Structure 1
Amino acid sequence: MSQALQSLLDLLDLEQIEQDIFRGTSRSAVVPRVFGGQVAAQALVAAGRTVPPDRHAHSLHAYFLRPGDPGAPIVYTVDRIRDGRSFTTRRVVAVQHGQPIFHLSTSFQTYEEGLDHQAPMPPAPDPETLPTSAERLRGYDHLPPDVVERFLEAREAVDLRYVDEPPFGRFGAPREPHSQVWFRTNGKLDGDIDAPLLHVVLATYVSDMTLLDSVLLAHGRGGWAVGDVVGASLDHAMWFHRPFRADEWLLYDQESPSAHGGRGLGQARIYTQDGRLAISVIQEGVVRVPREH
């Protein structure tokens, strides 16, 4: 396991300070606020620690309410909404400086057999043939070196590989609002920490990194990295369909059906390398063009 991955696991290992109350810290992000994927992942950890181990997360719905302060701890309070025969529901509120910054509702289910079908996996190149984030980002002379290093530092626990040029790599001309990335953790997870919730938590963490890229592609925008768009996540929903491992390659197939009113919508499917549909994701975010643009 890489040191970067171990640091991420430590970040997600919340401190319990009272029954159903947990505390987490933050790490550096590419923007001067707490990374949304981190808050969502930590909130899911808090919820999972109040649920019987035979019940697995199958969905989450979240709202980002305020920018998080990366220099202050985050307190997560869990409400035990319902414990049914098959489903368990939890609500989590993340608080900083006396104000809620994030709200999560999530549901867990015991395993059961049922109907089974899925959308087919789209074509994508072998991830091993694609450049790493470091190889791709350090080839962009138009990006300031500090921006590149912040990107790489924030993503060092994840091996994330773009299939095509990211929006900040080749911008100026609109493209199809569709983006693909392969991702996995930067190192294997040890056998004693491979509980299903951990893999779901790590996928939740990564899911907020690139989902709105397809919005930018549709308009030839490079995003905050080149200063032509200001953005932030508003809400986020995920459905976990089938088991997967976050330390094995996952294809994140993303598209944007709409942008309007200062908001953009991204939707995506995440597949295992052998073609199983593991997760569906939808996110809306603020996407504003600065006045000078």
Structure 2
Amino acid sequence: MTENSNTLLLHAAKNGSLEGVKAALEAGADIDYKQTDSDLQSTGTALFSASTAGHVDVVRLLLRQGASVVERMGSFAPLHGAAFEGRTAVVELLVQHGATVDIRDVMQNTPLMYACGNNHVDTVRRLIELGARPDLTDGFVAQRMGLKDRNVVDSDESIKMVQEAAKTRLLRCCNPKCGKPGYRKTLKLCAGCKLTRYCSRDCQIQHWTVGHKKCCGHDVYSDEQAYSFRDWASSLANHIEEHGQESSVQLLQRSAETYINL
């Protein structure tokens, strides 16, 4: 029964069925369950699916019920998925519940750079307001856009927005209730994860209480996870060699957002 409820939870979250999610949880579903649908790919959690699809009400319910904001689909966290798709309301919900705004994937991409790469202007603006660093340009997406060398000349409003924010050299307090701007030397860095910054001790305590305590130290992409990614890539290559490119199309489509677009 539990296995069935887990499957129901994933299906309901993916399709935005609030009642279906409630029913699955009441039936005992594991809120952070991931289903392995082949030797090469596992689904993300219900929160990941709902975040990527932009199902705000489902995301809100899952967060209230304690869903993890750091459980990943491959190297993507829910915040990566929401930013990639331009789900601004979901981005805000995730950050309000403690998601680390500058969480990175296997290619060192932050949610801000995914939103920028896809020209999701509203999402870029809100992420910067929530404390995302516009100067983290060592990831693959930022380098592809030319942001690392600051030599990009582009008409995309989102790129211009990131460039302008970087020029100010101001960062923002990562407490989503604050967002006060300040220079790096005036903001206090979290001693645990070293990924979040605060304008005061009070802001750090408040952010810790609302959810950072669940993420701190658990939202860094580890070497073990990177090895898992390389294993996935190797398995995919073997699958294509054995079964042919045409028979691997569906597998590639399921994996595209997580890996191919990095």
TM-score tier after normalising by the smaller chain length: under 0.3
The structure with the greater share of residues assigned to helix is 2
RCO comparison, higher one (Cα < 8 Å, 6+): 1
The structure with the greater share of residues assigned to strand is 1
